[in-house]
Structure 1
Amino acid sequence: MIRDAVADDWAAIWPFFREIVTARETYAYDPDLTEEQARALWMSPSSAKLSRTTVFVDAGGTVMGSANMYPNRPGPGAHVASASFMVDGSQRGRGVGRALCQDMIDWAAASGFRSIQFNAVVETNERAVKLWQDLGFEIIGTVPEAFLHATHGYVGLHVMHRRL
């Protein structure tokens, strides 16, 4: 089940958020973010009216993943949505990321966005790249060596786009 996140969900999100960010493999967030900074970044992704943070929970209420969604840019760029997704490492491969992204696509369409743009998909994150492509996103450009990967060194960041 996917639902809007509430403040109490942060306690379940923070451990996998921290693990993912400090691994330096998929997110360009500062690995030295404090918990307070991370919470502000994830739970309040934008001051825009149209923003949302969700969680994917199993039947027992365990948070398996989370997403946040928001306008990609303010003002004249606010008709393009963007989002970020994180799935607990112990829950990967179970369709959580796909469900979170499909929910985000549905939300963006219902909210009147014209398209979705992901600004920084690490090119070595092959599972995410394939999933986003399966859900209709295209790589429209790659910024070479824009991400310092923990094991691969400097790799590119894809900009991915999907019309609604």
Structure 2
Amino acid sequence: MEIREAAPEDWARIYPFWSRIVEAGETYVYPLGLGSDDARALWMESPPGLTVVAVEGDDILGSAKMGPNRPGRGAHVATGSFMVNPERHGRGVGRALGEYVIEWARREGYHSIQFNAVVESNAPAVHLWRALGFTIVGTVPEAFDHRTNGLVGLHIMVKKL
């Protein structure tokens, strides 16, 4: 598996699994029903951010985006978002993307990484981020309207670099 910067032409292969994950209504707060152009504007970062893909040959296994959590006086804290093609789960793609983002943030001189909205019922993500050294610093109760579980909390998770 290789992780590389996403090229504009990769979007056509990212969008199908991006849309499938968002439409499932279990892990992302993005609006439902977004077309490709609107979704691309949310996922494909411009500098100082970056969007990457995990690939094996021509197959895109997953994608991550990263950059400053907030502009200005909050720009020393990074953030990231991750999506693994559901057909490629269980292959270590999420961990590889997470490790990549951590190293990228260190190289870029960020002080820490903050995830603003980790759905508390997303046990695999919570487990992975804890395993990579993130801690839950708070949970906003009932902040996410999960398609099957109803209102669940959103964890704020942080890792100091």
TM interval, shorter chain, is over 0.9
Corresponding letter in the other structure for 1:67:
A
Secondary structure, counterpart of 1:28 in structure 2? coil
Corresponding letter in the other structure for 2:61:
M
Secondary structure, counterpart of 1:98 in structure 2? helix
Pairs aligned (count): 160
Following superposition, the deviation at residue 108 of structure 1 comes to: 0.2
Secondary structure, counterpart of 2:21 in structure 1? helix
1:81 equivalent in structure 2 = 78
Following superposition, the deviation at residue 31 of structure 1 comes to: 1.0
1:127 equivalent in structure 2 = 124
Q: What is the TM-score when the length of structure 2 is the normalising length?
A: 0.98
CA RMSD of aligned residues (A): 0.7
Aligned with 2:113 (options 105, 112, 116): 116
- 1:28 aligned onto 2:25: no
Q: Is the 8 A contact 1:146 1:157 kept in 2?
A: yes
Gapped runs of 5+ residues in structure 2? none
Moved over 3 A (4+): none
Partners in 1 of 2:21 and 2:117 — Cα distance? 15
Aligned with 2:102 (options 87, 97, 105): 105
1:155 equivalent in structure 2 = 152
Encode CA deviations 1:48-88: one digit per residue, 9 max, x unaligned.
x3210000001x22000000001000000000000000000
Following superposition, the deviation at residue 93 of structure 1 comes to: 1.0
Partners in 2 of 1:61 and 1:17 — Cα distance? 17
1:16 equivalent in structure 2 = 17
Q: What is the TM-score when the length of structure 1 is the normalising length?
A: 0.96
2:7 equivalent in structure 1 = 6
